[in-house]
C-alpha cells in the first residue's frame, strides 16, 4: 500500500463517548439516530457507523441510498434511515436495502408499495412536514392527504412525522425554533387523528437534542455533536445558561500531514502564488504536502496556523492545490518527515475545527465534511 502524506486519525473512543453522552441525555426509550451522511461528517462513513453501532446507537441516518448501500456492503447491521431524496425509480433498491426513509410525495409512496408487493415487507416512512425551514417537506394539508393515500397501500407504513429546524444553532433567541416545534407537535397530533395513534415524532438535530428534552420525542438525529463538536458558539452559550450538568463532547477527528521540505528564505523574498507574503527577515519555511484539493481551504492563505512539534507555525502565502508553506522560524529543529497537525492537539496546544472554520469563513460542519474522501481515515 502506497503511504499517504496526509491523513485523519479518528478516535473511536471519542465517538463512542459522545454517543454515551447522548444516550444519557435522551434516555433508553428514544431512538438515538446519529447522522453519518457526508462521509460521517468527514470522519469516514463506515468507520463512524461501526463506532456508533458499537456504542449503542439505534439507527443510522444517511443522506441517500448510495450511502445506505455502502454500509450494507460493509456489514453494518443497524437499521438505516434515509433523510435525503429517494426517487420512485429507486424504490426497489430501497426495499432491497430494507431502509426506512423520508417521503413527501405520493409517487414515491406508490413506487415503494409496488416494489414491496410480494416481499412481505412494509417500508417505514417518515413523512416530512414543512414547519418553517422551507426545504424538504409538505404542509399539513398535503401531509394529511398522503396519510390517507398511504392507508390504501399495504407495502408502506407511515411510521413517523419528521421535520428539520431552521434556526436553533444560529442564535440564542429560540422563538422561531420554538414556533417550529409547536407547529410540528400540532401537526403530529392532527396526523395521529387520521387513524395513526402510534405515529412517532422525529424532529431534533444536535442543538435541539442538547437544549430541549421536549424536542426528543421518539427519535433524535444527532449529527455534528456525535462527532464531538458543538453546533455553534450560540448553542454552547444556550446550553451553559440552561444546563447545570453540561454535556461533555469529545472531538474525534485529528488531521495530520508531515513536513516535505525545510528551507531558509532570505529577507525580502516572496512566498507562493501571487507573491502575497514577503519575508521581513530570513525565514525558515516548511513545505507541507497538503492543499485545497485535500480540503485545506484556500481562504486560509496567510491566515491559519498549524502545529509542528507542539508549536504554532503560521501559513505564509497562498494555500496551493497540493502544498502549503508555513513559517517554522521559531520552531527549533524542524526537519522533513516531522508530523504536522492541521486539526487536533500537539503538545499543550490545539487547532480546532472551529478555528479552521473561522479562518476559512465557514462553519465546523463544512470544515470536516470537506476533507477530501481521498484523505485516509485511520481509526485510533
Q: Which residues sit at the interface with ligand PLP, rule CB under 6 A?
A: 35, 83, 164, 205-206, 221-224, 231
DSSP state string for 188-205: HHHHHTTT-TT-EEEEE-
Q: Least separation, in Å, of the C-beta of 263 and ligand PLP?
A: 42
Catalytic residue (choose from 37, 128, 200, 256):
37
CA-nearest of 271, 274, 315, 279 to 297 is 315
Q: How far apart are CA 268 and CA 66, in angstroms?
A: 52
Q: Least separation, in Å, of the C-beta of 103 and ligand PLP?
A: 13
Q: Least separation, in Å, of the C-beta of 23 and ligand PLP?
A: 16
Q: Least separation, in Å, of the C-beta of 220 and ligand PLP?
A: 9
Q: Are 103 and 147 within 8 A, CB to CB?
A: no
Within a 13 Å sphere around the CA of 197, how many CA atoms are in the beta-carbon half? 0
Q: Let me know if 41 is a catalytic residue.
A: no
CA-nearest of 63, 15, 5 to 36 is 63
Cross-strand pairs, 116 = none
Nearer Cβ to ligand PLP, position 106 or 133?
133
Nearer Cβ to ligand PLP, position 223 or 344?
223
Q: What 3-state class would DSSP assign to 30?
A: coil
Catalytic residue (choose from 185, 200, 227, 273):
273
SS3 content of the chain, % helix, strand, coil (to 5): 35, 25, 40
Q: Let me know if 273 is a catalytic residue.
A: yes
Nearer Cβ to ligand PLP, position 72 or 85?
85
Nearer Cβ to ligand PLP, position 201 or 223?
223
Question: Which residues are identified as catalytic?
Answer: 37, 273
Amino acid at each position: 500500500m502506497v503511504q499517504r502524506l496526509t491523513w485523519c486519525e479518528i478516535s473511536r473512543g471519542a465517538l463512542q463517548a459522545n454517543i454515551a453522552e447522548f444516550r444519557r441525555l435522551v434516555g433508553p426509550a428514544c431512538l438515538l439516530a446519529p447522522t453519518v451522511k457526508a462521509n460521517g461528517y468527514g470522519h469516514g462513513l463506515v468507520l463512524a457507523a461501526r463506532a456508533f453501532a458499537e456504542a449503542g446507537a439505534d439507527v443510522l441516518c444517511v443522506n441517500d441510498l448510495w450511502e445506505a448501500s455502502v454500509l450494507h456492503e460493509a456489514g453494518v447491521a443497524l437499521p438505516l434511515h434515509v433523510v435525503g431524496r429517494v426517487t420512485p425509480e429507486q424504490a426497489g433498491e430501497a426495499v432491497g436495502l430494507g431502509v426506512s426513509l423520508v417521503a413527501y410525495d405520493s409517487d414515491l409512496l406508490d413506487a415503494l408499495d409496488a416494489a414491496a408487493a410480494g416481499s412481505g415487507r412494509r417500508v417505514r416512512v417518515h413523512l416530512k412536514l414543512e414547519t418553517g425551514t422551507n426545504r424538504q417537506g409538505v404542509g399539513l394539508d398535503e401531509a394529511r392527504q398522503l396519510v390517507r393515500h398511504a392507508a390504501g397501500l399495504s407495502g408502506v407504513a407511515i411510521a413517523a412525522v419528521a421535520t428539520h429546524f431552521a434556526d436553533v444553532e444560529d442564535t440564542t433567541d429560540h422563538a422561531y425554533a420554538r414556533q417550529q416545534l409547536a407547529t410540528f407537535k400540532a401537526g403530529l397530533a392532527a396526523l395521529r387523528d387520521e387513524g395513526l395513534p402510534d405515529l412517532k415524532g422525529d424532529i431534533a438535530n444536535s442543538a435541539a437534542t442538547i437544549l430541549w428534552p421536549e424536542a426528543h420525542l421518539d427519535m433524535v438525529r444527532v449529527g455534528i455533536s456525535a462527532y464531538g463538536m458543538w453546533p455553534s458558539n450560540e448553542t454552547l452559550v444556550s446550553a451553559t445558561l440552561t444546563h447545570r450538568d453540561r454535556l461533555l463532547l469529545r472531538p474525534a477527528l485529528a488531521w495530520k500531514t508531515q513536513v516535505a521540505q525545510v528551507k531558509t528564505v532570505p529577507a525580502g523574498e516572496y512566498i507562493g502564488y501571487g507573491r502575497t507574503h514577503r519575508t521581513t527577515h530570513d525565514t525558515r519555511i516548511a513545505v507541507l504536502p497538503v492543499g485545497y484539493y485535500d480540503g485545506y481551504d484556500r481562504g486560509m492563505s496567510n491566515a491559519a496556523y498549524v502545529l509542528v512539534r507542539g508549536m504554532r507555525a503560521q501559513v505564509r502565502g497562498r494555500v496551493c492545490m497540493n502544498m502549503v508553506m508555513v513559517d517554522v522560524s521559531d520552531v527549533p529543529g524542524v526537519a522533513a518527515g516531522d508530523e504536522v497537525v492541521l486539526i487536533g492537539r500537539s503538545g499543550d496546544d490545539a487547532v480546532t475545527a472551529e478555528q479552521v472554520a473561522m479562518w476559512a469563513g465557514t462553519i465546523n460542519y463544512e470544515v470536516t465534511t470537506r476533507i477530501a474522501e481521498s484523505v485516509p481515515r485511520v481509526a485510533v
